[in-house]
Structures are given as structure tokens and as C-alpha cells.
Chain A
Amino acid sequence: MSICAISRWVLLIIIFSPSLVNAATIAEGERIFNDGMLPSGVYVEAAIQGDIPVKGAQLACVSCHRKSRLGSSESVVQVPPLDYDSLFSGVSLSVNEQRGVSQQGATQKRIYTDESLARVIRDGIKPDGQSLDEVMPRYQLNDVEMQGLLAYIKSFKLNPDPGVNETELHIATAFSDENPAEAAIMLDVLQQFFADKNANIRHETRRAQHTPWTREWWYKSYRKLILHQWHLTGSPETWAQQLELYYKEQPVFAMVSGLGTKWQIVDEFCESHQTPCLLPNIIQPPATEGYYTRYFSPGVVMEAAVLAQYHLVDPKETTVIQLVDQNLLSQLAASSYQKDLGKAKQVVTVSTDKLRQNNILNEMPASIRTVIYWGSSDHLSDQLISKLTAIEVERLCVSSTLMPDVNSIKQKWPGEFCVVSPYRFKNRQFDDARTMVWLRRKGLGDGVAMRLKFNTYYAAKLVSDAIIAIRGNFSRDFFIEKIEHMVDKSLIKPDYAHMSSGPGQRYMSRGAYVLVSSVNKEPLSIGYDWTIPD
């Protein structure tokens, strides 16, 4: 036997020895799975439909099998789960049916070995000799690369994520002490919602005790939903520690809703703990990338960008004055507007405090057509309004998010009025009907903070629907994937006008309208149609 032949044997033994499958091998497999990147740094190549090449991230495993690796369903295509039991143990008789509701219907019996799994990945041939559909790419992987991919796939055991036990599923909501009245309303909606849900699952848990094994996965997936109030007190610098303590005491599966201005700390907590956080009421999400934090809107920064676009295309607009309050949200909106419009037109930023003390508007350029006020109605006093009308400002623009009760100011303002708003403003009686029935029944239909109630109820409903859809597969990633698929189908609506979601999409409503009225008695109508800043 030559030295060359011996070294080949040694190599083969190294490759196929299970004890030597180490973390580095799994990491190599993970890169193939998620990015379509081979250890050599080149993209993996594959073919679909017989003669169509794909490479790298175009169709990496994660694309269809998803981050959860529990598969997916897109109209005609059913993608099976890749957890260890599904692949290597055949049909599971346990509580968990490794599928979500939308994936049911296709039965499976797939008992793979390393060799047959490698064969199906390379050639699309299943252990029973049948071919997989040709939308499954046939990947070109050598033995070493395949070993890495198999090691990664085999590392995936479907254990419940933190925050779930045999009987309970824990959910948190986090809020600062900035606005106790709003926090109380949000908690009222959430507590009543989960109390309702828990009342309805009592029968399911009883049925689970008397059910045949074929239906175990159905009934035994029910859990009592426990809501935890994570009240964040004091300076935001201490929030991270407070969150860790809360989580240590009782890990939660997900977070639903929250209230606070300096949200970046909570955002980082959600991302670092890989905890899905569904956030309908955060007025300004941090300017970060994220996967586990899902916001309803990009916030007032986006609204300012839409208003800037509207003013950019208006030739009559030459000089705009922005009035800014001494708070973070107001200043963020003003700097976003300045950034987007400042190059094309003259934008002057004035603080409301200063304006209250001096009549600095007299020193402004002669023709000011528009004043924007980035703040709430409480701070726009009659005195300030009269200072604006004194210099014959034609138009006042406000943000519907910062000023939820725009009508109180609109009635006082004699001239043109404009509101940048991501919210629904027409056909409300139809779209609100379902949610209003629930809110009224719970004594919450009193007209106070309705936007907060609508958005909170909607988020709670999404969370509970997604928990049903994942059945016994308590994977947070799977839970997020289900939410992504549910938003577009939902029959109820939050306060946002355009809701949609999809894989990896961080915001569920991404644009805004500019609504206008030419004189104060006129109702608002669309002045600039729904715009999504690029």
C-alpha cells in the first residue's frame, strides 16, 4: 500500500468518524445552510428544474426550510421540516407533530441515514427511490462539505424554546414609567385578552387526557398563557439589568406590546435573547437592524420623510419652519425632515420654548407658507397659534402619531391644515367592527386612547393565533414565521392603514399619507397618497 493510499484512508476515517464532528464542522455546515457559502469561500452551486443553475444565497437551504428549519408552505409548495426526529426517526408518535397548521395534509415517513440524506441533497432521490420535486435544488457538495452540512442538520433537535413548560406559555409586556395612564390601558387590554383565551382552553387540556395518540399532538399543544408585566423604572441605563432580572426569574417565549421612548435597550434585549417581540405601540423604533423585534411602523422619522417628499414636489414651498419640543421624538422627526428637505428648500428649526418667550418669527424670511409642529396638542397653546397666524402662515402641518387628537388643533387653526398619518381614516365603522365588539364587551369602548387599544388588541390576537398555528412546536423562530404569514390574512385591523408582513420584514406598516383640508370646517382628505420612503 502506497503512502498516498494510506493517507486517503486516514482522510476518509477522519471525515466519517462521528467523534470528530466538532463545532467547526457544524459551523461550516451552518454557513452552507444559511448563506450557501462553502468552507472554501465560494458559493455552493445547485440546479433546479433540471437545467436551471442557482448559487449561494439565491436558494440556500434556509430560504425554503426557514430559520426554524421546520419548513414552510407557500401555495403549491410544501417544504418539510428538517428536525432530527422528522428525518431520522420516521413518523413521530410523540406529542409534537412537526408541522404548523398550514403545513398539515402532507403525510410523511422519511427515515434517513447519513448516506441517504446526502443522496437526497445531491440527487433529490429519497430513501424509497422516488424523486423529490425539482424545486428542491440538487446541491453540488463534496464529501467534506456534505459532512459539515449533515452535522449541522443533525444538530437540530426540536426542544421547546425557553418560556414554555408542560402546562404554561409565558409572555411578557414591557413598559417604562413615562406614561402610567397609557400603560394601565395597554395592560387592561392584554390582561382581559389573555384571560379570555385561557378560559377557552380549559376543555382542550381535559380532552388531552383522554385522547388517542393520533390526536395527542393536537390537544396536548395547548398551554395556559401567562402574562408578565415587566415594569421598567428609573433611568433607561438601568433597564438592561432590570430586563435580565425579570427574564432570569421567568424566561418568556415572546413579548407582546410595550411602551417607552428609549426603546433601544429593550430592542437589544429581544435580539440578544432571540425572543420574538411584537411591538405595536413603540412610536420610534431604534435605527438598528433586527430579526426578533417586529414593529408596526418605522415611526415619526418615517413620517417626517413622507412629509418632506410631499413638500419637495410642491413648487410653492420655499421656506418651511419646524417647531420642535424639548423631547427626543420631536427632535428625531425634525432632524429627519431637515435631512430630507434641507438640501432642496430652506428649513428653519425653532424650539417652541424659545417661541413662547420671544416673537422670533418676525425675524424670519418674508414669505412663510408652511409651519410644521412636531409635537402634541397640549404644547401648542392658543398663544403660540396666534403668534403663527399673526405672521400670516397659510398652512400648519402636524404628525398624527405625535398629536393623536389632531381635530382639537384643526378646529382652532383658520387656514390650511395638513396631517402626516400612517393610520386609517376612512370606512372605519366597517374595519373597526370586530375589534369594537370585543372592546365594548370588556368596557374599553369609551373613546379614550383607542389607537393604543386597537393596536394592542391586534398584537395580542396575532400572538395567540400564532401560538395555535405552531401547535406543539415551541420554536420561537417558527412562531415568527407564522406571524409573517398571518398579517396579510387577518380579518381584524389595528389602527394602521396598510398592514402587511413577510419573511424577515421588520415593519408591518411602512408608509404614511398626508391628509389635508383647505379650510378648518372641511374634513381631511388625501393630499399626498400613501408613500413608502425608499
Chain B
Amino acid sequence: MKILLLNSVILLMFSGFVTAASVERHASMNEDHSKHKASLHTNHVERYTVPYQYADISLVDSDGLVVSANDLFSNDKPIVLNFIFTTCTTICPVLSATFSQLQKTLNELDIPPKMVSISIDPEQDTPARLREYAKKFDALPLWSFYTGKSSDIVNLQRSFDIYRGNKVNHIPVTFMRNTTDTRWLRIDGFVSNAELLSEYKSLVGM
């Protein structure tokens, strides 16, 4: 675990775009017992900006249509992204309720972003199950759901530094990216709708 964290610190430092906060965060995780406490207080939120590199994998949307990661993450619209799975009991309902609320405001904007939820349980989450889940959270057309090949989905999670070995160990993270940037704003933790909206507005310069 320590080696992994150290590796990610080194990788992030070489990437050249890392904010001071992100390095501090990774460094502090190696020392004290902050992680133990953090596990009891989920309202701990961290934000930082990282230029994630990912392979151009194929994803499948809730209508069964295939789309490449490059097309999905193309720069024609801002993107708000999270990773969920439909049978998840605790973290994902919170993340999805948050998107469900956020979409209402974002949908009213002149250029609404793409809101993207990618399943980290592709063995279970077929397009039909994603459609059902979208309905449960009243997803508007700007919010779409994707699944894919298991190995691709694991690699994508690794690219976004959210892979934690298995799906029930996954962490609550929201990503955003503006059209003019290759870097993603990463928000770790659970946030309010107001906070998320204000992050989005400042990201796209509103």
C-alpha cells in the first residue's frame, strides 16, 4: 500500500500539473493515523487538479450503443463525471442523488455539461440495468450511464486513481473538466449540491 502511494506521489510530481495540496495530501497519508479518523468522518473533502491519462477504451451506454472514451471525454462540452454501480448500497445512492439534484440546475445553463456515470460493476450492470437505475434517479438527457468490459473498466479506474481493489471498497469522488482544459478537477468526499455547483461555476468561469 505504501509503495503504491509513494509511486502515485512520484507519478503525480512528474506530471508537472499537480497542485501543492494534492502532494501534501498524499504525503500526510503515509505518516499519521489520519486515515483511521477519516474513515469515521466522511465529510472530509479534498480537491485538486490532475491531468489524467487514460487509454481509449470502448464503453457501452444504457441504450447499448458503443462509444469510445475519447469521444465521450471530447472537449465539446464540460464534463461532470463519477463512478457508481447499481446495486451499491451506501456510497453510490448518495453520489447519484447528488447528480440527480445537480442536473436540474446544470440543465438550465446555456451550454449544459455532459454528466457521466460509469459503472464499476460491468458484470452486473448491463444497459438494461443502467436504464432502470437512471429512472430511479430521474436522470435527464444530459446525464448518461456507461458500462464496458471488466478489464477496461479496471484500467479506467486506475487511470483516474480511484481503483481500490474491488467495487465495495470504492471511494466517493466527483470529477469535472472544462472544455479549455486537459486537467480534471477531482473532488474527494461527499459534498453538498451548493458546493458542487459553485465548483462547477468557478471551473467554467461563470
When C-beta atoms are compared, the residue in chain B nearest to A77 turns out to be B90
Contact B149 A74 (CB under 8 A): no
A37-57 Cβ-contact flags toward B at 8 Å (1 or 0): 000000000001111111001
Contact B168 A502 (CB under 8 A): yes
Which of B87, B127, B166, B193 interacts with A49 by CB under 8 Å? B193
Which of A54, A500, A505 interacts with B93 by CB under 8 Å? A54
When C-beta atoms are compared, the residue in chain A nearest to B38 turns out to be A76
Chain A hits for B39, CB < 8 A: 76, 78, 105-106
Smallest Cβ distance from B60 to chain A, in angstroms? 10
B 147-199 contacts with A by CB, 8 A: 149-150, 164-172, 189-194
Contact A74 B192 (CB under 8 A): no
Kindly count the residue-residue contacts between A and B in the assembled complex, taking CB atoms under 8 Å apart: 125
Which of the 9-residue segments A58-66, A243-251, A444-452 touches chain B? A58-66
Q: Is B75 in the interface zone, CB < 8 Å from A? A: no
Q: Is B7 in the interface zone, CB < 8 Å from A? A: no
Contact B194 A63 (CB under 8 A): no
Complex CA gap A505/B87 in Å reads 8
Q: Is B98 in the interface zone, CB < 8 Å from A? A: yes
Main secondary structure of the interface of B (DSSP, over half): loop
Smallest Cβ distance from A312 to chain B, in angstroms? 13
Q: Is A530 in the interface zone, CB < 8 Å from B? A: yes
With contact pairs A75-B164, A76-B39, A529-B149 given, residues A66 and B89 touching in the complex (Cβ less than 8 Å): yes
Complex CA gap A302/B96 in Å reads 31
Complex CA gap A57/B138 in Å reads 12
With contact pairs A49-B192, A75-B170 given, residues A58 and B124 touching in the complex (Cβ less than 8 Å): no
Contact A502 B121 (CB under 8 A): yes
Complex CA gap A48/B91 in Å reads 12
Complex CA gap A336/B36 in Å reads 51
A59-97 Cβ-contact flags toward B at 8 Å (1 or 0): 100011010000010111111000000000000000000
Q: Is B110 in the interface zone, CB < 8 Å from A? A: no
Which of the 9-residue segments B11-19, B21-29, B40-48 touches chain A? B40-48
Complex CA gap A135/B191 in Å reads 10
Which of A50, A51, A503 interacts with B89 by CB under 8 Å? A503
Complex CA gap A326/B119 in Å reads 42
Q: Is B31 in the interface zone, CB < 8 Å from A? A: no
Contact B91 A77 (CB under 8 A): yes
Contact A106 B40 (CB under 8 A): yes
Chain B hits for A51, CB < 8 A: 101, 192-194
Chain B hits for A484, CB < 8 A: 168
Contact A63 B170 (CB under 8 A): no
Complex CA gap A76/B90 in Å reads 10
When C-beta atoms are compared, the residue in chain A nearest to B188 turns out to be A76
A99-123 Cβ-contact flags toward B at 8 Å (1 or 0): 0000001100000000000000000
Complex CA gap A75/B36 in Å reads 11
Contact B136 A72 (CB under 8 A): no
Contact B164 A78 (CB under 8 A): no
Complex CA gap A106/B42 in Å reads 13
Which of B94, B98, B121 interacts with A500 by CB under 8 Å? B121
Chain A hits for B164, CB < 8 A: 75
Chain B hits for A488, CB < 8 A: 166-168
A 15-36 contacts with B by CB, 8 A: none
Contact B42 A511 (CB under 8 A): no
Chain A hits for B122, CB < 8 A: 532
With contact pairs A50-B192, A75-B164, A488-B167 given, residues A64 and B90 touching in the complex (Cβ less than 8 Å): yes
Smallest Cβ distance from B124 to chain A, in angstroms? 6
Contact B168 A75 (CB under 8 A): yes
Q: Is B117 in the interface zone, CB < 8 Å from A? A: no
Q: Interface size (B, Cβ < 8 Å)? A: 47
Chain A hits for B168, CB < 8 A: 74-75, 484-485, 488, 502
A 124-140 contacts with B by CB, 8 A: 133-135
Complex CA gap A503/B42 in Å reads 22
A506-534 Cβ-contact flags toward B at 8 Å (1 or 0): 00011100000000000000000110111
B96-133 Cβ-contact flags toward A at 8 Å (1 or 0): 11101100000000000000000001111011100000
Contact A498 B90 (CB under 8 A): no
Q: Is B52 in the interface zone, CB < 8 Å from A? A: no
Which of A135, A509, A529, A530 interacts with B94 by CB under 8 Å? A135
Smallest Cβ distance from B50 to chain A, in angstroms? 20
Q: Is A489 in the interface zone, CB < 8 Å from B? A: yes
Chain A hits for B5, CB < 8 A: none
Chain B hits for A503, CB < 8 A: 87-89
Which of A66, A105, A133, A489 interacts with B42 by CB under 8 Å? A133
When C-beta atoms are compared, the residue in chain B nearest to A102 turns out to be B168
Complex CA gap A106/B136 in Å reads 32
When C-beta atoms are compared, the residue in chain B nearest to A50 turns out to be B192
Contact A63 B191 (CB under 8 A): no
Chain A hits for B87, CB < 8 A: 502-505
Contact A502 B90 (CB under 8 A): no
Complex CA gap A509/B123 in Å reads 8
Complex CA gap A498/B36 in Å reads 33
With contact pairs A58-B97, A488-B167 given, residues A52 and B193 touching in the complex (Cβ less than 8 Å): yes
Which of A52, A135, A529, A534 interacts with B126 by CB under 8 Å? A534
Complex CA gap A420/B97 in Å reads 40
Complex CA gap A510/B36 in Å reads 36
Chain B hits for A530, CB < 8 A: 149-150
Complex CA gap A63/B97 in Å reads 13
Q: Is B85 in the interface zone, CB < 8 Å from A? A: yes
Smallest Cβ distance from A3 to chain B, in angstroms? 45
When C-beta atoms are compared, the residue in chain B nearest to A529 turns out to be B149
Q: Is B137 in the interface zone, CB < 8 Å from A? A: yes
Smallest Cβ distance from A411 to chain B, in angstroms? 31
Which of B127, B172, B191 interacts with A76 by CB under 8 Å? B172
Given contacts A75-B170, A503-B87, 16 further A-B contacts (CB under 8 A): A48-B94, A48-B98, A51-B194, A52-B192, A57-B136, A58-B100, A64-B89, A75-B171, A76-B171, A78-B40, A498-B150, A500-B121, A500-B124, A532-B123, A534-B64, A534-B127
Show 22 A/B contacts (Cβ-Cβ < 8 Å), sorted by A.
A48-B190, A49-B193, A53-B97, A63-B90, A74-B88, A74-B91, A75-B164, A76-B38, A106-B39, A133-B41, A133-B43, A134-B190, A135-B94, A500-B121, A500-B124, A502-B85, A502-B121, A502-B168, A510-B123, A529-B149, A534-B126, A534-B128
| The 6 residue pairs across chains A and B that have the minimum distance between CB atoms | A488-B166, A74-B90, A502-B87, A534-B126, A49-B192, A503-B87
Chain A residues engaging chain B, CB cutoff 8 angstroms: 48-54, 57-59, 63-64, 66, 72, 74-79, 105-106, 133-135, 484-485, 488-489, 498, 500, 502-505, 509-511, 529-530, 532-534
